[in-house]
Amino acid sequence: MTRPRRPSVVAVSGWSGAGKTRLLARLIPALARRGVSCAVVKHTRHPHAFDRPGKDTFVLRRAGAVAAAIEGPGETAWFGPAAGGLRALVALLPPVDLVLAEGFKDAPVPRIEVHRRRVSREFLCARDRRVFAVVTDEPPPRRVPAFTAGDAEPLAELLCAKLGLGRPLRRRGRRSPNKEAPAG
């Protein structure tokens, strides 16, 4: 039996409010157009009560269950202890080509930085050499490809080239080199 290939993992990191989720919402469709299947995991340093009091999963966990999962016709939710880091969390996901990890500033994976001057003057790429691209509204402090928040397509191209994923998009209005021009 062959094991599925591990997905590539890239962190999308930056300070809270810099636009990470907004970028991911544009980047994921750009990657899908190139045939790249994606999953997203999110990290936060703040505690969250995802499983609310009164819900069955909450009641059963309070009764002593280590974890509880609920599956409906289209999705699954799992409530339990932390997975144990990015790699452990990725292992829980269904097979995909690429996992985009929102946050995870300390994870030892390649990273896209999302930076906005009004949120923070500090750049992660100034101290983190794993940053291979920056989405920003000002020049980064070191030579690294820089994009604006609206540059999802060129960022997807860079990501696919770096990771060897997907297929190039066919450009509209250009003739295929294998087809002859119509006689006219």
Domain 8-49+81-163 has CATH 3.40.50.300: yes
pLDDT: which is higher, 3 or 130: 130
Amino acid letter, residue 44: T
Does residue 182 register a pLDDT over 90? Answer: no
Label residue 171 by pLDDT band (50, 70, 90).
Answer: low
Could you tell me which residues come within 8 angstroms of residue 51 by beta carbon, excluding any fewer than 6 positions away? Answer: 57, 58, 61, 68, 79
Beta-strand (E) ranges in the chain? Answer: 8-13, 38-42, 68-71, 76-79, 98-102, 111-114, 131-135, 146-147
* Structure confidence at residue 11 (pLDDT): 96
* Structure confidence at residue 181 (pLDDT): 39
For the chain, where are the alpha helices, taking DSSP H only? Answer: 20-32, 56-62, 86-91, 152-163
Mean pLDDT within 137-156: 96
